[in-house]
Each structure stands twice: as structure tokens, then as C-alpha cells.
Amino acid sequence: MKTNSFTFKLDDTQQAELTQLLKNPKYLPEKVPHTRIAVSIPDCRINLYNSGKLLIQGKSAEEWIAFTLEPEILKEAVIGYEDFHDPEAFEPHMGIDESGKGDFFGPLVIASAYVDRELVEKLKEMGVRDSKKITSDNVAINLARDIRNLLGDRCAMVTIGPRSYNRMYTKIQNVNKMLAWGHARAIENLLEKVPDCPRALSDKFGPTHQIERALFEKGKKIQLDQRTKAESDPAVAAASILARAGFIYALRKMGKELNFEVPKGASTKVRREAEKLVAHRGPGILLDTAKCHFQTTDKVLAEVGYSRKDLPPTL
């Protein structure tokens, strides 16, 4: 199904560049409420809203995007090549992705999302793309809400909180095996809702057999694919946004409970906040808030006068 309507979210620099471009006399100015600039060309209407949302509609919309917007503003190919390069992206399948793997604080969140051709078209209209390309947490949260509204029961999420994460790592001692376990659960949880889904796709983080071994009976019947940069697939992109939103919600909830703003990542700022937390609440608080196998743990504990032997048992 070919769509004649496309939506993009532009950053401040892209908005300024597009505004300048659309002042060219070949674009006919239009009056559209709440827009920074609105123009038209034959068979194509282009509205840049004050929010940064760009709406392109009309029979020539895809052509204008491919030959003007992508090379001059987006600096990347977004539409027009998916059917040729990856026809499977439009076939029924689920995508799986995770968030929080590289963050000291917070859980590991794995999400799965099912798509077919109709859903892919709607996700593209919503501007769904790899969550790593979305710089605003609030944009990710709002987009995740729209994705959940669109997919309904055709998505699932697995959240491994810090306490459970630390307990699992003590037993498994391998992050990729934990990821495989989480991916397998996200696949099977979605198969409960979409039992006829024929294929699952995720980013390649380790041997495929790690996920296969973690699957139960129902999951063993699905075709399992892994590839690098799988986030370009619409189902994986949707899953990446759902996972990121789940991770952000978890950090905000933790911050509310502990009365501090929980930072993402594993930077010096993260270490300083962790040191304050341990100094105030003792070393055991890390088991409930952080991934304790990170080297950050040793540095934080040493700075506040503790060591790993001061951590309570995880089992």
C-alpha cells in the first residue's frame, strides 16, 4: 500500500535549514495554523509546524522527500528503498531490542513488536526510527505511547530490575547470555498474543544459538534472525522505542522514590551521583539501583570508603 503522507521530527538545525530552503520562489506560500512555514508545489504540500513536526502530503510527496529532503536536510535515505533492499521488512514478523544495557543505573528492558505491511506503513507515517536517533526522552515517550496505541496487544516488554539483574549476573556471569534470556522471553510473550508470527529479528549481539537455547517449546518454532544494524527494520525500531521509554519510566520512578535525578550512562556524573547515594544510604543501595558488575561499582565504593565485600549477598 503506497502512502501519500509522511511525517518527520526535525531538530532545530534541520528546521532552520528547511525554512531557508522553502523560501525559494518555486515554493508557493500557504497559510496553515501553528506552522513555522507552509508551502506547496504541484501535487505536494509541505508544512513545518512550530513543534518541529514536518508533514509532507500529496502524490509527489515521496519524490520530494527522496530528491530534496533526504539529501539536503536529513542527510540520510529514509524512504523509497525499503522494498528493494529489504522486502522482508514489510512481511509479518516481530522485532526485538533492548535499552539500559550500557547504563549503570536502572533496569535492562527488552521489548518486542509485531508488524505487517499495513502496520509498517503506519509506523513510517508516525516517524518511527531507531531510538538512538531520538535525542529527547519526552519525544521517545510520546512516540512509544503512539506505538502502543497502534499495536495494541501486538507488543510485549520484559523488565529485569537491578536486584534481579544482579542476582542473574551472579549466576550467569555473562551479559550476552542474560540478553539472550531476555530476548527469548520477549519473543515468547509476544507469541502468546500473535501465535502465527513466523519470524523474529534482533540486533546481533552474540551467537544466535544463545537465544535459541533460551526459548521454550513455542518459541523454538519461530524463525530467528540476527543482523547488525537491525534497528533499520521497522519492527526493531518500534521495539527500540518501546524499550527506551520503559527504561526512562523506570529511571524516573527510581528518582522519585530516592529523591534524586537518576542520570543515564556510566559517565563521571553518574559516578558522582552514585557516590552521594552510597554515602547517604550505604553500599547495599547499589544492589537495588545499579548493575553491580560494572567497574563503576568498584570506583564508587572505593571513593566512599567501601569495597565489594561490603555489598550484601545477591542471592
Question: What pLDDT score was predicted for residue 83?
Answer: 46
Residue 184 structural domain:
87-252
d(Cα 266, Cα 20) in Å, to the nearest integer? 39
d(Cα 120, Cα 90) in Å, to the nearest integer? 6
203 found inside a domain? yes
My answer on whether 145 and 218 are in the same domain is yes
Q: What would the pLDDT profile of 202-214 be if each residue is shown by its tens digit? A: 988 776 777 777 7
My answer on whether 96 and 146 are in the same domain is yes
Last residue in a domain, options 56, 80, 104:
80
Last residue in a domain, options 58, 80, 102:
80
How would you write 220-282 as a 3-class SS string? HHCEEEEECCHHHCHHHHHHHHHHHHHHHHHHHHHHHHHCCCCCCCCCHHHHHHHHHHHHHHC
My answer on whether 215 and 236 are in the same domain is yes
The domain spanning residue 36 has which CATH number? 3.30.310.10
My answer on whether 132 and 10 are in the same domain is no
Structure-model confidence comparison of residues 215 and 170, the more confident one: 170
Q: What would the pLDDT profile of 156-196 be if each residue is shown by its tens digit? A: 999 999 999 999 999 999 999 999 999 999 999 999 999 99
pLDDT band at 315 (very low <50, low <70, confident <90, very high): low
Element (H, E) at 123: helix 117-125
14 found inside a domain? yes
Domain count, the chain: 3
SS3 call for 106: coil
My answer on whether 213 and 172 are in the same domain is yes
My answer on whether 136 and 215 are in the same domain is yes
315 found inside a domain? no
Last residue in a domain, options 80, 102, 126:
80
20, 41 contact by CB (below 8 A): no
CA 205, chain centre distance (Å): 16
d(Cα 254, Cα 243) in Å, to the nearest integer? 17
- Do β-strands 199-203 and 93-99 pair in parallel, antiparallel, or remain unpaired? parallel
100 found inside a domain? yes
My answer on whether 292 and 226 are in the same domain is no
* Cα–Cα nearest to 22, from 45, 51, 50: 45
For the segment 29-55, the average pLDDT, to the nearest whole number, is 94
My answer on whether 165 and 238 are in the same domain is yes
The domain spanning residue 180 has which CATH number? 3.30.420.10
pLDDT at 23 over 50: yes
Q: What is the pTM of this model?
A: 0.74
* Residue type, position 310, single letter: D
Among the listed ranges 36-50, 59-73, 75-89, which one has the minimum average pLDDT value? 75-89
My answer on whether 64 and 141 are in the same domain is no
My answer on whether 168 and 283 are in the same domain is no
Q: What would the pLDDT profile of 96-123 be if each residue is shown by its tens digit? A: 999 999 999 999 999 999 999 999 988 8
My answer on whether 269 and 216 are in the same domain is no
My answer on whether 154 and 235 are in the same domain is yes
279 found inside a domain? yes
